[in-house]
Amino acid sequence: MTNAALAEATGLSKNRIGATVRDAAPVLTALGHTAPTGALTVTTAQQLASIAGHDLASS
């Protein structure tokens, strides 16, 4: 989602979302995780679950 879409969905400002992402990125990196950048194309629930770190098959 773009910051604009997240802002609309959550009621937060685009600036607040951007700042939060910038603040969280180094923490995620230190924990061994990376946040994808750029557009993602998701066409199935399994793809979305995988991006979020979940496995629908075991649910």
DSSP, residue by residue, 40-52 = ----SHHHHHHHT
- The domain spans of the chain are 3-58
> pLDDT category, 49, cuts 50, 70, 90?
confident
Length of the chain (residues): 59
For the segment 7-39, what is each residue's pLDDT rounded down to a tens digit? 888 899 999 988 998 899 899 899 998 777 777
pLDDT at position 15, please?
93
Rounded mean pLDDT, 34-53: 80
Residue whose tokens read 């951007």: 18
pLDDT at position 59, please?
54
Q: What is the C-alpha separation between 28 and 6, in angstroms, rounded?
A: 20
